[in-house]
Structure 1
Amino acid sequence: MKLPLIISCLILAGCQSTPYAMIDGSQSKISDADNYNVEIIAIDGAFQSGKLTKNIKPGYHTVHLSTTGPLRSRKATSTLVYPLLAKECMRYVVSAQHGPSNKDDWEIKVLDERLIPACTPSPAEPEVAVVIPDYAKPTGDISCLTQDQLTNQTTPVVLLHSVAACIKSQDYNSAINAYFLAGAYAYFDSLRVTHKLSHAVVDLIKKDSIWTLSALEQQNFEQKLAEYLASEQKQQTCEWVKTIGAPDYAPQYMLQHLPQDGAPQNTDLSADIKATLFNATLNDYLGCSSPQT
């Protein structure tokens, strides 16, 4: 089991050349009055627009789903986490199953898992051992960093290892803050380092940090994250990230992951371009409201 990817997954438009999977929340059981469709709120930390269906890459994903059914209490949980290990060419039909006597009590129900006829699976390949390069590792041991210890010079390498340390110590507030900032800064870095192959270094960092946690540790964090996404704390964290501002470091971890034949990348941006990219990070990736001017 693996934690969510910080960089949002690409939507796969085709299926003959690239196998994909699908989450489908649009096929609730008509015969069951307590079964409702679900909207897709976020996938792997990347916020969605409330669609009912979504194509995804095969592999592990953390999907946040919201019921379309009625909730009577404002305190009722409208969003739940659906951990999904998606296989190639599979459609996962999910729904919200509400309690017959208490509409506020609901759970995610998987109605069906079936093959996508037009999708062609890729040939099986032997698993290759992954080597984590030094530039994707912190220079020393990283403890759980609190919100006050995080700055605009804290890189995703340090942030993701801090997330893992915080989860281990069950300091979930600090874990979520570091996770949120890591996602923002990794996304920002992917905008200023335009070579897409270099973005894969983020996965290597996660494999060396948060993906080393036990399944139970990851599940506990995912539940806390789901509660956070459905609360007012998200907007408070958005304001905190705005206050910290855009990254103030050179993204060496990503620059060093460039292919040998890759074109040199200039990450020394003007103030205007930096502000534009940071606003895009806040609005398009984190789903925060536009900064006040």
Structure 2
Amino acid sequence: MKLPLIIGCLILAGCKSTPYAMIDGSQSKVSDADNYNVEIVAIDGAFQSGKLTKNIKPGYHTVHLSTTGPLRSRKATSTLVYPLVAKECMRYVVTAQHGPSNKDAWEIRVLDERLIPTCTPSPVEPEQVVVIPNYAKPSSEVSCLTANELTQQTTPVVLLNSVAACIKSQDYDSAISGYFLAGAYAYFDTLRVPNKPSHEVVELIKKDSIWTLSALEQQHFEQKLAEYLGSEQKQTACSWVISVGEPDYAPLYMQQHQPNDAVITETTTELPAEIKDTLFKATLTDYLGCPLP
């Protein structure tokens, strides 16, 4: 008799879900002929295969949206960046607002921000000062690394700091390469390090690298990334990550991140070649959304 238990969870406050937020590109304004739905192309560098809605974790996200409206010119920009600081239990209704006389000119328009009734926010806690541990920092200063300088031994700690340096020097091609590889390698590491609290170290690395950039620097990079995605170079990025190959380092930065209340599981990241190959393929398909070669 599972049905009463399910009904009980819907009624009783004791059955709580993890707070989340939602991007909703499916509710364009019917009364406005120039307002269209948007497809979610990518979130934080992970491709989404053109979904209209997506649940996301609260916090900062770089969302790439593509208009479903008509574009007359091939040179028109089909993808724009939507920087979002998502709050718990909020639905963000976003659309594409095209110009009445020039359909190729459009901008992201937020129609509504409203609470998700079925979502329970976390209890309010006092804000704590974030301390970046040494294992989440590079051992020395990292300069901007080009795509040719990135290898299987380059960890997300170095990659994300390199991305920040590349953005500062306006070497956006190198920044984009490092950004894709950092996301792929960090995701791969979460697959081989089973302690979920350890995965939070990636956010600490971002706070100590790309999130230290000014709002203008971040915006410039996000726009360059949007242009890259809009130019249909996804396959190029996928092919390049495949050519670099799976990580060939021990994910010590993640293994050392053990919050006080975490349940520690003894594990090894020395995996057989066939398992590493399987995890890398999962990274390509599930995280980057790449077709397998």
> Do they fold alike, i.e. is TM over 0.5?
yes
Q: Deviations over 1:189-222 (max 9, x none)?
A: 1111111111111111111111111111111111
- Does 167-176 or 119-128 show the bigger shift? 119-128
Q: Per the alignment, in what secondary structure is the counterpart of residue 18 of structure 1?
A: coil
Matched, 1:269 2:266: no
Q: Deviations over 1:217-262 (max 9, x none)?
A: 1111111111111224332222121111111111111111135751
| In 2: Cα distance, 1:233 partner to 1:40 partner | 16
Q: Per the alignment, in what secondary structure is the counterpart of residue 234 of structure 2?
A: helix
| In 2: Cα distance, 1:117 partner to 1:239 partner | 42
> Which residue number corresponds to residue 250 of structure 1?
250
The 1:280–1:133 alpha-carbon spacing in structure 2 relative to 1, beyond 3 Å, is same
Q: Which amino acid aligns with 1:225?
A: L
> Which residue number corresponds to residue 289 of structure 1?
291
> Which residue number corresponds to residue 125 of structure 1?
125
RMSD between aligned residues: 1.6
| In 2: Cα distance, 1:238 partner to 1:103 partner | 31
> Which residue number corresponds to residue 9 of structure 2?
none
Matched, 1:205 2:205: yes
> Which residue number corresponds to residue 36 of structure 2?
36
Whether the aligned pair in 1 keeps the contact of 2:71 and 2:103 (CA below 8 Å) is yes
| In 2: Cα distance, 1:284 partner to 1:121 partner | 28
User: Post-superposition shift, 1:47?
Assistant: 1.6
| In 1: Cα distance, 2:23 partner to 2:264 partner | 35
> Which residue number corresponds to residue 195 of structure 1?
195
| In 1: Cα distance, 2:118 partner to 2:284 partner | 37
Q: Which amino acid aligns with 1:289?
A: P
User: Post-superposition shift, 1:16?
Assistant: 4.3
Q: Which amino acid aligns with 2:287?
A: Y
| In 2: Cα distance, 1:101 partner to 1:50 partner | 27
Q: Which amino acid aligns with 2:100?
A: P
Matched, 1:139 2:139: yes
Q: Per the alignment, in what secondary structure is the counterpart of residue 118 of structure 2?
A: coil
Q: Which amino acid aligns with 2:275?
A: I
Q: Which amino acid aligns with 1:275?
A: D
| In 1: Cα distance, 2:140 partner to 2:42 partner | 33
Whether the aligned pair in 2 keeps the contact of 1:41 and 1:48 (CA below 8 Å) is yes
User: Post-superposition shift, 1:50?
Assistant: 1.9
- Does 157-166 or 22-31 show the bigger shift? 22-31
| In 1: Cα distance, 2:16 partner to 2:245 partner | 42
User: Post-superposition shift, 1:19?
Assistant: 2.6
| In 2: Cα distance, 1:17 partner to 1:47 partner | 25
Who wins on radius of gyration, i.e. which is larger? Answer: 2
| In 1: Cα distance, 2:45 partner to 2:80 partner | 13
| In 2: Cα distance, 1:31 partner to 1:217 partner | 37
Q: Which amino acid aligns with 1:150?
A: L
Unaligned 5+ segments in structure 2 are 1-14
| In 1: Cα distance, 2:206 partner to 2:217 partner | 15
The percentage of counterpart residues that share the same residue type is 79
Q: Which amino acid aligns with 1:285?
A: Y
Q: Per the alignment, in what secondary structure is the counterpart of residue 50 of structure 1?
A: strand
The 1:17–1:239 alpha-carbon spacing in structure 2 relative to 1, beyond 3 Å, is closer
| In 2: Cα distance, 1:239 partner to 1:45 partner | 15
Q: How many pairs were matched up? A: 277
Whether the aligned pair in 2 keeps the contact of 1:16 and 1:118 (CA below 8 Å) is no
| In 1: Cα distance, 2:209 partner to 2:27 partner | 37
Whether the aligned pair in 2 keeps the contact of 1:255 and 1:265 (CA below 8 Å) is no
- Does 189-198 or 234-243 show the bigger shift? 234-243
User: Post-superposition shift, 1:123?
Assistant: 2.6
Whether the aligned pair in 1 keeps the contact of 2:49 and 2:289 (CA below 8 Å) is no
Whether the aligned pair in 1 keeps the contact of 2:40 and 2:52 (CA below 8 Å) is yes
| In 1: Cα distance, 2:115 partner to 2:189 partner | 37
> Which residue number corresponds to residue 87 of structure 1?
87
> Which residue number corresponds to residue 166 of structure 2?
166
| In 1: Cα distance, 2:220 partner to 2:40 partner | 21
| In 1: Cα distance, 2:286 partner to 2:204 partner | 24
Q: Per the alignment, in what secondary structure is the counterpart of residue 280 of structure 1?
A: helix
> Which residue number corresponds to residue 66 of structure 2?
66
